[in-house]
């Protein structure tokens, strides 16, 4: 169970945010059938097999670490479908990060909090 991996408050907060984002996606956007570990994140899997990465990030820049995670995600999803999948984040992507992810056929959803957790 992923929640047992939290060894500090920051990790517990990140796990909680991913859970809230996942529930919001499932309820507001499209049903998630399953979850699967990919790279260093857990991704939702839709009924058609497409992958949804829900990241509680404020800002993603293009860096070696981000590129490595993106490569690992892309490699794991090659067999799932032609398009890689979706990446939803709470904040935004830098222009270079945005360009790299789009070049690799990811569908990007920045500033997604209000879409995933709408006010009633």
Angle at 39 between CA 34 and CA 42, to 5 degrees: 30
Query: Taking the model in full, what pTM does it have?
Result: 0.83
Angle at 72 between CA 67 and CA 73, to 5 degrees: 95
Q: Domains, the chain, ranges and CATH? A: 2-116 (3.40.1350)
Containing 96, the helix (H) or strand (E) segment is helix 95-103
pLDDT tens for each residue of 61-115:
898 888 888 887 777 665 555 556 899 999 999 999 999 889 888 899 999 999 9
């Amino acid at each position: 169970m992923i929640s047992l991996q939290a060894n500090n408050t920051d990790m517990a907060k990140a796990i909680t945010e991913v859970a809230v984002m996942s529930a919001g996606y499932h309820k507001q956007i499209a049903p998630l059938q399953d979850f699967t570990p990919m790279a260093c994140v857990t991704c939702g899997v839709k009924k058609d097999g497409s992958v949804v990465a829900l990241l509680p990030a404020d800002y993603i820049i293009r860096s070696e670490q981000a590129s490595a995670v993106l490569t690992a995600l892309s490699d794991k999803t090659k067999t799932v479908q032609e398009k890689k999948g979706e990446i939803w984040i709470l904040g935004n992507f830098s222009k270079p990060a945005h360009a790299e992810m789009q070049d690799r056929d990811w569908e990007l959803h920045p500033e997604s909090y209000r879409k995933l957790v709408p006010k009633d």
